[in-house]
């Protein structure tokens, strides 16, 4: 178990070192490429942010209003026959809705 902990502690520094060495060997500006990737990542976050906020609000409203609990009770005879635990039903119902 100690070997696994030791290797996992070295993994990130090793990967960073490999990226720097690759950049030096290939004569690539690693930091500039990193900045471009960070910029693209932020653009993606900005595009997804309104969708995520909308989903969080919608899920919160469904939970707080009791609609989700009502729907789960409504389909519970079927889920009980299929031996589906009641605790996972909110996730099972909301997961397909939350995918883009």
Distance separating alpha carbons of residues 85 and 92, to the nearest angstrom: 10
pTM of the full predicted structure?
A: 0.50
Phi, psi angles (nearest 5°) of residue 82: -90, 5
If residue 77 lies in a helix (H) or strand (E), which one and from where to where? Answer: helix 67-81
Q: In the chain, count of helices (H) and strands (E)?
A: 4, 0
* Structural contact between residues 86 and 76, judged by C-beta atoms closer than 8 angstroms: yes
pLDDT digits (tens, 9 = 90+) for 5-38: 888 888 999 998 998 898 889 888 888 898 999 9
pLDDT digits (tens, 9 = 90+) for 82-95: 888 888 888 787 77
Distance separating alpha carbons of residues 78 and 71, to the nearest angstrom: 12
List own/partner pairs for 7-13 with CB under 8 A and 24 or more apart. Answer: none
């Amino acid at each position: 178990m100690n070997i696994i902990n030791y290797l996992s502690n070295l993994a990130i520094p090793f990967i960073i070192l490999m990226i720097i060495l690759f950049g030096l060997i290939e004569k690539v500006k690693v930091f500039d490429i990193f900045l471009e990737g960070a910029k693209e990542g932020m653009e993606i976050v900005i595009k997804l942010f309104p969708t995520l906020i909308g989903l969080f609000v919608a899920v919160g409203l469904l939970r707080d209003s009791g609609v989700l609990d009502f729907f789960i009770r409504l389909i519970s005879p079927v889920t009980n026959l299929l031996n589906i635990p009641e605790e996972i039903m909110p996730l099972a119902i909301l997961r397909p809705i939350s995918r883009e």
